[in-house]
Amino acid sequence: MNETSRTCQECGATITAEQISAREAGLIKGVLMCPLCVAAVRQAAVDARSATAEKGPAEQEESISLVAVDEASSGPSKIHSFATGSSLAGEHHDEKLNRPLTGPTEAPTRCRTFHSKLNDASIAYMDDQINMWIDSDERVFVKTVSTTVGTFEGKHPEPNLIITVFY
């Protein structure tokens, strides 16, 4: 056997590289199969789907079942949310930070990031949010600001103005 052919793990037939490239042969559920075995598996899947479609709604098997989980036995949740307890605009908890705020001539110890869509109304709203945040605490001295434009992923990816204020 040369390097361009392999053996079917179901029936032992020879499989060529061309058959694999043409998707006539290949791996199905981790098993390398020849074109005849692949065709048989595909036909069995089609038959199973058509048999399920012919049954009435009461006869069809439930495809998904929900299992109640006892939270006491499952341990703590492994799902973490960054927005837990936050408002829509985002809520920052400065009291959880270890480093104290510094004076106007010292190096920055914290940062806060703001972002908005690229239109007049959104940028004006972001300006108001930044100004209200700075006015809310007399200990905040802006040291430097970084700006960039980047795409925020969401329902519709769109460019945003991103401003990071170091204070």
Quick one: pLDDT at residue 90? 56
Query: What is the chain's percent helix, strand, coil content, to nearest 5?
Result: 30, 20, 50
Quick one: pLDDT at residue 27? 85
Q: Going residue by residue through the chain (167 aa), what tens digit of pLDDT does each one get?
A: 455 678 888 888 888 888 888 888 888 888 888 889 988 888 888 888 777 666 655 555 555 555 555 555 555 655 555 544 444 445 677 778 888 888 888 899 999 999 999 999 999 999 999 999 999 888 889 999 999 999 988 888 899 999 999 99
Quick one: pLDDT at residue 86? 42
As a whole number of angstroms, the distance between CA 97 and CA 125 comes to 27
The answer for residues whose C-beta is within 8 angstroms of residue 160's C-beta and 6 or more apart is: 115, 116, 117, 118, 149, 150, 151, 152
- For residue 111, give Cα distances in angstroms to 31, 93, 122, 141: 53, 12, 21, 11
Quick one: pLDDT at residue 3? 57
